[in-house]
Amino acid sequence: MSFFASLVSNALLRQISKKYNILIDAPDKKRKFHKNPTPLTGGLGISFGIIFSGIFLIFLTQDNMDISFSSENYSAVNQEVLNEGGGITHEINMPDDNSIKIKVLNDEELLVTLPDGTKQIYKISDNGDTSSVIRKEINENSFSISKFAIGLFSFTILIQLIMLIDDLWGIKEKNKLIIQAIFALCLILLTDVYIKDLGNLFGFGEINIGLFGIPFTIFCVVGMMNAFNYIDGLNGLCASFCLVCLMSVVYFFNAFNNPSFLPLVLPVGAIVGFLMYNLGIFGDKRNVFLGDNGSQALGFLCLWVLVYFSQYDEYKFAPVTAMWLVSILFMDALRVLTTRALNGLRGEDLFRARRDHIHHKLQDYGLSNEVIYSILILSTGLLSTIGLVLNNIFSENHYYSFYIFVVVWICFHIVVNKIPKNV
């Protein structure tokens, strides 16, 4: 549904854009080398695809929908409980070869699995001089919306609307950075979700950065939002990087078979719908670009999804694994930022547009856009796979994953800086 909703939305929006001559990106033969004036409505098409399919999802599951205003769980049901991990399980045989499984979750709660597969949590509570058993039934097919999910969706739309102004009339780079930081801070204050724990990066124990995590998270989110934006200089790159990241998360949490994680699937289908136009599958004349509004929104969405899942032990998703899922973007952005900072010390404008990103270097080397796209997307797919594999192999010792990432990072820096300019 999200795929077809995005497909239709992109078709309608690009027609409106061309008819009224708004949100059109014209080639200038300096940095914009596309052949024809192209609508910048791709980001809006993706958002409409997510919204419409999300509405359908809510209506289809309204009887099993649970809105939770706790920032502690993306889903209302603890996945470890449903997967029956941990605890002591006792099995009671019943007539007709049926059995009831009882698991001790903690000092107060028991997980009971009935013969029909229904799972219920029984909690013993003290009410004065009497004790009572409180039953809470777990519906594994329920669809949950948490405060974090609502906040992330709302601020993603808001950041897209602000960046839409940038596409229409332009906003100074410094002002955009301030706006991005404010939105990141607002989401932190609303949900209390930010990078508090970096994991056992060096092998000497967990690194808990506490409240310092708030400015650190803002720095990471703003930096990677712009990394997504800057990589959007080649058809399909930005959206495909986001697609690989989200698909990796969907695969890791088996979201297709878990209703609580279904919202993660919606942007996947919507992005694929956009790529049908952006990659020229429907022909160059039907092409459409993300625009700053689209690339910034996708960057904001991806980074917050990674931040969230990396900060809760129950998901078994290490912070360093999040780095693997955006590795090419992260390494290229840091390389460019370092280079520009050094040039800034010589008096050059830090915000001046340059051709120093990895796709620019590969273009100047003489590779075609199709080859560059294939190299970068296959590379980020490979590195994402490596990250997920390492996350599972070294489930308790994630510093192995970090040290391997550092080696890859150094190799990337050396190789990219040595790419010669042949064109």
* pLDDT computed for residue 97 by the predictor: 53
Q: Select from 216, 231, 208, 226 the least CA-distant residue to 185.
A: 216
For 83, list phi and psi in degrees, rounded to 5: -80, 0
Over residues 205-233, mean pLDDT: 93
Residue 239: other Cβ atoms inside 10 A: 26
| Spacing of C-alpha 85 from chain mean position | 26
Over residues 383-412, mean pLDDT: 95
Over residues 305-311, mean pLDDT: 94
Over residues 354-359, mean pLDDT: 84
Over residues 221-236, mean pLDDT: 91
* pLDDT computed for residue 238 by the predictor: 95
Domain ranges of the chain: 2-64+144-417, 79-138
Over residues 89-106, mean pLDDT: 63
Q: Is the pLDDT of residue 222 over 60?
A: yes
Q: Is the pLDDT of residue 92 over 70?
A: no
* pLDDT computed for residue 340 by the predictor: 77
Q: Residue 75 — very low, low, confident or very high, per pLDDT cuts 50/70/90?
A: very low
Answer whether 336's CB lies under 8 Å from 356's CB: yes
Q: Select from 113, 83, 49 the least CA-distant residue to 316.
A: 83
Over residues 230-247, mean pLDDT: 93
Q: Is the dihedral of CA 311, 312, 318, 323 positive or negative?
A: negative
Q: Could you tell me the pTM of the whole model? A: 0.82
Complete DSSP assignment for 191-216: H--S--B--SSSSSS--B-GGGHHHH
Q: Of the given ranges (119-133, 273-287, 341-355, 370-384), which has the lowest mean pLDDT?
A: 119-133
Greater confidence, 57 or 135?
Answer: 57
* pLDDT computed for residue 371 by the predictor: 95
Q: Is the pLDDT of residue 304 over 60?
A: yes
